Amino acid sequence: MSDPIVKINDNVYVVRDRVVAIVPISSTISRRIRASNQLGGKMLNVSYGKECRTVIFLNSGHSLLLAESAKEVRKKVWGD
């Protein structure tokens, strides 16, 4: 059985079952959702000062902004 908690980078861990989508930040859909999410206060920027490249959407309504590429994050979370 695979580990339910996944290490994205040194300081960021997520629960695999809570991840709904992993989207590159350049896509139009993620930009719209990101704009609407900023009003709700459920967005966490965990890029540590680097350029944001990926958004992880969680089933709790939270969004995580990451500096890693979407392909790298997908590989870590789902093993693709």
Q: What is the pLDDT of residue 13?
A: 95
Burial class (CB in 10 A: 0-12, 13-18, 19+), 48: exposed
pLDDT in tens, 8-43: 988 899 999 999 999 988 767 667 766 776 656 788
Q: What is the pLDDT of residue 1?
A: 45
Q: What is the pLDDT of residue 10?
A: 86
Calculate the dihedral angle through the C-alpha atoms of 37, 63, 30, 53, rounding to the nearest 10 degrees.
130
The pTM score is 0.81
Q: What is the pLDDT of residue 80?
A: 67
Query: Distance between CA 68 and CA 55 in Å, rounded?
Result: 10
Identify the domain containing residue 73 by its residue range.
5-78
